[in-house]
């Protein structure tokens, strides 16, 4: 039996498992191919929904489904997370000590938002990157926030979903406007970058909106620590910003299993070929989504498109082919700008994101993509994804 | 005993804005006062972004040199307190 083991049951891992289960349905029935998905527990979170939990009061349970209900027949689910991967012996060890041998392994282990990586941040801030329960704490805090300075801060890069801090600022603005208290709230946006959004073309659109909505930009602020008692966030140069409410994007790192397996950089991101998604020096191993070190958005759409590319490559490889699919770096990050408007940050490795103005249509598209998410990670709506994204990966001959 | 000044080369060639800045931030986090960080970038925005970063954060822009198809931008860490 040829066995593919996928580590991580988020967007990328789940879609990849389902695509392989469909592609190899006959071989799986015959026992010639095995697809195992190793993830911690049985909860699957639609992470973009955390923003709605934090700023619109959505029920945290509404963004969670059982992973087992999302998997196609033929996927063997393991609900005990991986502790270590021996890439030489090709064996995964789970946290409980079970050994899972493989022929191909895919790291879809994601990114971990970890406030513990910055002194004072856990005590002094709230965030929506750790999960829906933490996001709900923001909603609770907003209910009692009568006035003062609300700060949205990017404490370190890279982090999941690059547009999400901007969305948080816009949604805060919207929340206070709808409540009628906007006049008594100062909103500050603290970022290490020179502008509101890292990519200049997108920032050119966001900056005037910040000015229009009264969101104050604090650029070039490399956060170092938070003094929770004094309610101040400090930079590496010793400057500080006062806050009454701090909503921070925590520092992120790779999954523990990556570090334990000795394949990540110092922050736990996996070095891969940015087009084939193969792990450096290990052609039988792939990594997709947030887990990699490639300079591209850590987002569900990227994980989705990379999962499709790797599914194509494994379909060829397991049948003895000499080709591999190459991903073109397509990103497509929706950004809500408040008051029912959104824009998409789209580009590839070879084309920077272009400028586009926020529209109601983009907002509707963002909402629609969210509503079909659960189906798309089961392989559904592929015609729509293909029609919208076009070819995002193509097969190429492997070097001899 | 003081530790020796280090020079770190950050290769951001092929990376679009804000890749070079992001790579600079990463190197800056682990740098000590006096260290040099040399960023290699093909993205034309890197020059102005890193120049502005140095000016705003009080660190020193040492040089901006064009090489074959890319630019080498060197900064000296002079204002890092943490």
Q: What is the pLDDT of residue B44?
A: 86
Q: What is the pLDDT of residue B82?
A: 65
The shortest CB-CB distance from A220 to any of B22, B57, B80 is to B57
Contact list, A352 vs chain B (CB under 8 Å):
16-17
The shortest CB-CB distance from A192 to any of B16, B25, B58 is to B25
Determine whether the interchain pair B56/A199 forms a contact, defined as Cβ–Cβ distance below 8 Å: no
Q: What is the pLDDT of residue B14?
A: 79
Residues A208 and A369: their CA atoms lie apart, in Å, by 27
Q: Which helix (H) or strand (E) holds A7?
A: strand A2-7
Supply angle C-alpha A340, A127, B17, rounded to 5: 70
**Alpha-carbon distance values, A65 to A131, A243, A366, A374, B42 (Å):** 13, 35, 20, 9, 44
What does the pLDDT average to over A205-218?
A: 97
Q: Is the pLDDT of residue B70 over 70?
A: yes
What does the pLDDT average to over A373-399?
A: 87
| A271: nearest Cα among A291, A250, A243 | A291
pTM above 0.90, yes or no: yes
What does the pLDDT average to over A81-107?
A: 98
Q: Is A355 on the interface with B (CB under 8 A)?
A: no
State which residue of chain B sits closest to A202, comparing Cα positions.
B17
The shortest CB-CB distance from A237 to any of B21, B45, B57 is to B57
Q: What is A114-247's CATH topology? A: FAD/NAD(P)-binding domain (3.50.50)
Counted domains in chain B:
1
* Contact yes or no for A323/A395 (Cβ under 8 A): yes
Q: What is the pLDDT of residue B3?
A: 63
The CATH number of domain A2-110+255-329, selected from 3.40.1390.10, 3.50.50.60, 1.20.58.1610, 3.40.50.9100: 3.50.50.60
What does the pLDDT average to over A54-83?
A: 98
Q: Looking at CA atoms only, how far is residue A51 from chain B in angstroms?
A: 24
Contact list, B29 vs chain A (CB under 8 Å):
156, 222, 236
Range of the domain at B37: 7-76
Contact list, B79 vs chain A (CB under 8 Å):
237
Q: What is the CATH number of the domain that holds B61?
A: 3.30.110.40
Q: Is the pLDDT of residue A312 over 60?
A: yes
Cis peptide before A91 (omega within 30 of 0): no
Q: What is the pLDDT of residue B45?
A: 87
Q: Token pair for residue A349?
A: 């490795």
Determine whether the interchain pair B28/A295 forms a contact, defined as Cβ–Cβ distance below 8 Å: no
Q: What is the pLDDT of residue B2?
A: 54
Q: Is the pLDDT of residue A398 over 80?
A: no
pLDDT digits (tens, 9 = 90+) for A141-194: 999 999 999 999 999 999 999 999 999 999 999 999 999 999 999 999 999 999
Long-range contacts from A231-238, C-beta under 8 angstroms, 24+ separation: A231/A124, A233/A124, A233/A151, A233/A153, A233/A155, A233/A190, A234/B82, A235/B57, A236/B28, A236/B29, A236/B57, A236/B80, A236/B81, A236/B82, A237/B57, A237/B58, A237/B79, A237/B80, A237/B81, A238/B81, A238/B82
| A338: nearest Cα among A363, A366, A370 | A363
pLDDT digits (tens, 9 = 90+) for B31-53: 999 999 999 999 888 999 999 99
Residues A255 and A290: their CA atoms lie apart, in Å, by 10
Determine whether the interchain pair B22/A194 forms a contact, defined as Cβ–Cβ distance below 8 Å: no
Determine whether the interchain pair B22/A347 forms a contact, defined as Cβ–Cβ distance below 8 Å: no
- Please say if B26 is a catalytic residue: no
Residues A328 and A274: their CA atoms lie apart, in Å, by 9
In a domain, B1, yes or no: no
Contact list, B56 vs chain A (CB under 8 Å):
194, 219-220
Helix (H, G, I), strand (E, B) or coil at A182: helix
Q: Is the pLDDT of residue B1 over 60?
A: no
DSSP at A229: T
Determine whether the interchain pair A236/B82 forms a contact, defined as Cβ–Cβ distance below 8 Å: yes
Q: Looking at CA atoms only, how far is residue B1 from chain A in angstroms?
A: 23
Kindly give, in sequence order, each residue whose CB lies less than 8 Å from that of residue A400, ignoring residues fewer than 6 positions away.
none
E strands along A268-360, which residues? 278-279, 282-287, 323-327, 331-338, 341-347
Question: If you average pLDDT over every residue of chain A, what do you get?
Answer: 95
CA A321 to chain centre: 31
Q: Is the pLDDT of residue A353 over 90?
A: no
E strands along A278-340, which residues? 278-279, 282-287, 323-327, 331-338
Complex prediction ipTM: 0.89
In a domain, B2, yes or no: no
Q: Is the pLDDT of residue A379 over 70?
A: yes
Determine whether the interchain pair B52/A220 forms a contact, defined as Cβ–Cβ distance below 8 Å: yes
Q: Which of B8, B13, B17, B61 is catalytic?
A: B17
Q: Looking at CA atoms only, how far is residue B64 from chain A in angstroms?
A: 19
| A19: nearest Cα among A308, A277, A253 | A308
What does the pLDDT average to over B60-77?
A: 95
* Contact yes or no for A293/A265 (Cβ under 8 A): yes
Q: Is A218 on the interface with B (CB under 8 A)?
A: no
What does the pLDDT average to over B65-71?
A: 92
A-B CB pairs within 8 A amount to 60
Determine whether the interchain pair A237/B81 forms a contact, defined as Cβ–Cβ distance below 8 Å: yes
Which of B18, B58, B81 is the best mutation test for A, with the most CBs of A within 10 A? B18
Residues A173 and A356: their CA atoms lie apart, in Å, by 21
Please give the share of chain A, as a percent, with pLDDT higher than 90.
Answer: 89
**Can you tell me which residue has the tokens 């899972």?**
A100
What does the pLDDT average to over A114-134?
A: 98
Hey, where are the domains in chain A? 2-110+255-329, 114-247
In a domain, B39, yes or no: yes
In a domain, B11, yes or no: yes
Q: Is A219 on the interface with B (CB under 8 A)?
A: yes
Q: Is the pLDDT of residue A391 over 90?
A: no
What does the pLDDT average to over A277-297?
A: 95
* Contact yes or no for A348/A302 (Cβ under 8 A): no
């Amino acid at each position: 039996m040829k066995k593919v083991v996928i580590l991580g049951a988020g967007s990328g891992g789940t879609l990849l498992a389902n695509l392989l289960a469909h592609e190899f349905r006959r071989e799986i029935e015959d026992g010639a191919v095995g697809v195992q998905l190793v993830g911690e527990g049985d909860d699957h979170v639609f992470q973009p929904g955390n923003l709605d939990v934090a700023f619109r009061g959505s029920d945290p349970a509404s963004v969670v489904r059982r992973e087992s209900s999302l998997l196609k027949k033929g996927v063997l689910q393991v609900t005990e997370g991986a502790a270590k991967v021996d890439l030489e012996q090709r064996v995964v060890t789970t946290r409980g000590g079970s050994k899972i041998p493989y022929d191909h392994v895919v790291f879809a282990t994601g990114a971990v938002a970890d406030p513990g990586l910055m002194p004072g941040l856990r005590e002094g801030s709230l965030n929506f990157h750790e999960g829906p329960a933490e996001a709900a704490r923001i909603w609770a805090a907003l209910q009692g926030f009568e006035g003062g300075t609300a700060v949205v801060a990017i404490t370190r890069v890279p982090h999941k979903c690059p547009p999400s801090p901007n969305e948080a600022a816009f949604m805060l603005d919207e929340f206070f406007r709808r409540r009628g208290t906007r006049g008594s709230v100062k909103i500050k946006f603290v970022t290490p970058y020179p502008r509101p959004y890292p990519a200049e073309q997108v920032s050119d659109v966001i900056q005037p909106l910040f000015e229009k909505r009264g969101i104050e930009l604090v650029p070039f602020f490399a956060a170092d620590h938070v003094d929770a008692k004094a309610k101040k966030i400090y930079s590496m140069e010793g400057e500080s910003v006062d806050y009454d409410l701090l909503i921070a994007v925590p520092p992120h790192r790779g999954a523990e299993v990556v570090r334990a397996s000795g394949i990540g950089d110092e922050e736990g991101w996996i070095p891969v070929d940015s087009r084939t998604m193969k792990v450096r020096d290990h052609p039988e191993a792939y990594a997709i989504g947030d887990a990699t070190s490639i300079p591209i958005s850590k987002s569900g759409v990227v994980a989705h498109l990379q999962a499709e590319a790797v599914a194509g490559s494994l379909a060829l490889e397991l049948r003895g082919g000499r080709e591999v699919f190459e991903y073109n770096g397509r990103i497509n990050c929706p950004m809500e700008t408040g008051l029912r408007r959104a824009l998409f940050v789209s580009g590839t490795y070879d084309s920077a994101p272009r400028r586009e103005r926020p529209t109601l249509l983009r907002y509707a598209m963002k909402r629609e993509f969210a509503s079909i998410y659960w189906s798309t990670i089961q392989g559904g709506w592929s015609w729509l994804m293909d029609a919208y994204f076009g070819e995002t990966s193509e097969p190429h001959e492997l070097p001899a | 005993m003081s530790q020796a000044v280090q020079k770190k080369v950050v290769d951001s060639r092929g990376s679009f804005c804000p890749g070079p800045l992001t790579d600079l931030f990463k190197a800056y986090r682990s740098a000590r006062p006096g260290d040099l960080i040399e960023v290699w970038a093909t993205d034309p925005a890197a020059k102005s972004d890193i120049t502005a970063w140095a000016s705003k954060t009080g660190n020193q822009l040492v040089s901006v040199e064009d090489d074959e198809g890319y630019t080498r931008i060197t900064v000296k860490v002079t204002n890092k307190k943490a």
